[in-house]
Amino acid sequence: MATLSDLRGILADSGYQRDAISAIGAATPLGRTVDPARLEEITSAPTRANTAARLFYMARAVPRADAEALLAPLGCAPLIGAGLLHEDGDRVRAECAVLPVNDLLIARDFESWATGRPMGTDYVLGVGLATRMLAEFTPRDSRNLALDLGTGQGYQALLAGAHAGRVIGTDINRRALRLCGWAVAMNGKSNIELREGSFFEPVQDERGRFDLIVSNPPFVIAPPHDMAAIGGRWEGDRFVEQLLRDIPEHLAEGGVAAVLCNWHHPTPEAWPGRISAWIEGRGVDAWIVQLKHDDPRTYATNWLRESASVESEAAMIAAEAKVDSWLEYYRRIGVGAISLGIVRLRRRTAGPGGPANFIRAESIPMDKHTAPGGAQALRVFDNEVMLRTARTPADLLGHALRLSPDAELHQRLRPAKGAWAPQASVLREMKGFEFPIGLDGLTSAVLARLDGARPVRVIVQEMAGAMKADPEVALSQTAPFIEKMLRTLHLERAGGP
């Protein structure tokens, strides 16, 4: 019997792919109301792909016969039964947009250009930039129990469902859970459970048992408003504060969390202060990367423009007029600058012989990152424990280390005397943050020899012997270099983090 999980294949077969949607999207310039006549023209040919685009992207009612042809052999009935389609005379229309995103089908609310209506307070957002960024920063190793807090359309939960045994997605927005439920069914997932409620309230029984927690919270810092998806009635960055304070006790030992968020600080330089204080002393190690920061005016202007761009030019002008009231609000609550960053946490009970829990905070521009970057966070946690356990850099030489599987040496060569002479060699991580580091011939040779099977000390002594160099000198020179390579994540312990 055909089920909702067949819809993905049926729509792909109709040609309703990302490209078909992009063609229509290209005709909907940012900040302008769409010309409906133009959209009708683009999708006028009687193809199944056009029926799909009209029904599931443009919020049009389409003739039932066309919908049946599109959805065969599933047909309209199961979608009507699920509430995803509504009958409208001899036509049907969809309750929400259904869009292919990578290999998944996602259900989200229609955009304002399609419905002609502004977003409601229970509006369910689609897969946006922040959604994708969090997904790229999330560790994707095998996990038992995962939580997606504020699951919305469910993208994070669906991705977690591929590498976690069981996933719980929570949200306070009942409509989001409805749409997410359709996405779970459409993607044939049987290990994702959805629960309604605020913060950790719906998962109290699982407290301390999560191996992975992901959250793309409502983090926009704005005067209180009614749209829960982007911040709602929380003052400043209080939602993010509460979330980061509460995550640690819900993680299992070794469990990791990934949160993408904004937070504010009194001056641009003071960015690590408040956010670190929320995490400190809670039994987790943390890696906080500030990806960018904005002054209050730039931040307010960008968000107001972004939220208006889906409506109309008039909405854009009205939005810009609100900037001053946002700035007044920022003055009142002491916002001097606003950061965007990715926070990764790992629960670790610091025992005797091990280092205290740590917070590593650094600023790295977004463009120095290549997806996927989740594995790099696990390497940070492992390497920092090694670095903090060593009493001197020489202690690090006792570990069997190897190059990160994502490291590449990039060389620039110039012709010289009939051959190519290296001008510069730069080691880079090709997944996650780059951490570019210039190497010379000797250091790159040492790195290449590290096999992860024997301690670094043995390999360096061997190389010194072959080069007739003093092994003690070679070891003392290598130790600080190894320390630097561990910190910059180009090296890892054998067996991986």
| Site track 340-359 with ligand SAM (rule: CB under 6 A), x = hit | --------------------
Burial 90-118 (b: 16+ CB within 10 A, else e): ebbebbbbbbbbeebbbbbbbbbbbeeee
**By the rule CB under 6 A, 22 interacts with ligand SAM:** no
What's the rounded Cα separation, in Å, for the pair 69 and 361? 55
Of 19-27, 144-152, 314-322, 431-439: span binding ligand SAM (CB under 6 A) = 144-152
Give the binding-site size for ligand SAM (rule: CB under 6 A).
Answer: 23
Strand partners of residue 221: none
Cβ 125 to ligand SAM, closest distance in Å? Answer: 6
**By the rule CB under 6 A, 376 interacts with ligand SAM:** no
**By the rule CB under 6 A, 176 interacts with ligand SAM:** yes
451 secondary structure, DSSP code: B
Nearer to ligand SAM, 84 or 243 (CB): 243
**By the rule CB under 6 A, 152 interacts with ligand SAM:** yes
**By the rule CB under 6 A, 171 interacts with ligand SAM:** yes
Cβ 369 to ligand SAM, closest distance in Å? Answer: 18
> What distances in angstroms separate CA 424 from CA 413, 420, 428, 436, 438, one per listed residue?
7, 12, 13, 12, 7
In this chain, which of 199, 299, 303, 435 binds ligand SAM, going by CB under 6 A? 199
**By the rule CB under 6 A, 155 interacts with ligand SAM:** yes
Tokens of 99: 């869009």
356 secondary structure, DSSP code: P
Sign of the C-alpha dihedral computed for residues 39, 45, 46 and 47 taken in this order: negative
Tokens of 303: 């968000």
Cβ 172 to ligand SAM, closest distance in Å? Answer: 4
Cβ 140 to ligand SAM, closest distance in Å? Answer: 15
Tokens of 209: 């048992």
Segments of 172-238 assigned E as strands: 192-196, 210-215
Of 170-178, 359-367, 407-415, 437-445: span binding ligand SAM (CB under 6 A) = 170-178
Residues 443/451, Cβ–Cβ less than 8 Å: no
> What distances in angstroms separate CA 386 from CA 394, 441, 448, 472, 483, one per listed residue?
12, 26, 21, 22, 9
**By the rule CB under 6 A, 198 interacts with ligand SAM:** yes
In this chain, which of 125, 323, 335, 380 binds ligand SAM, going by CB under 6 A? 125
**By the rule CB under 6 A, 102 interacts with ligand SAM:** no
**By the rule CB under 6 A, 151 interacts with ligand SAM:** yes
In this chain, which of 78, 139, 150, 272 binds ligand SAM, going by CB under 6 A? 150
Helix (H, G, I), strand (E, B) or coil at 324: helix
Cβ 191 to ligand SAM, closest distance in Å? Answer: 17
Cβ 65 to ligand SAM, closest distance in Å? Answer: 35
Maximum CA extent, the chain: 89
**By the rule CB under 6 A, 173 interacts with ligand SAM:** yes
**By the rule CB under 6 A, 396 interacts with ligand SAM:** no
**By the rule CB under 6 A, 136 interacts with ligand SAM:** no
Closest alpha carbon to 245 in 280, 214, 269, 219? 280
DSSP calls for 76-144: SHHHHHHTSEEEETTEEEESSEEEEETTEEEEEPPPHHHHSSPPPTT----S-HHHHHHHHHS--S-EE
Burial of residue 125 (number of CB atoms within 10 Å: 0-12, 13-18, 19+) = buried
**By the rule CB under 6 A, 476 interacts with ligand SAM:** no
In this chain, which of 14, 50, 156, 290 binds ligand SAM, going by CB under 6 A? 156
Nearer to ligand SAM, 154 or 296 (CB): 154
Cβ 224 to ligand SAM, closest distance in Å? Answer: 13
Tokens of 259: 């949160």
What's the rounded Cα separation, in Å, for the pair 300 and 203? 34
Cβ 99 to ligand SAM, closest distance in Å? Answer: 13
| Site track 203-232 with ligand SAM (rule: CB under 6 A), x = hit | -------------xxx---------xx--x
Which stretches of the chain bind ligand SAM, using CB under 6 A?
Answer: 125, 131, 134, 149-153, 155-156, 170-173, 176, 198-199, 216-218, 228-229, 232
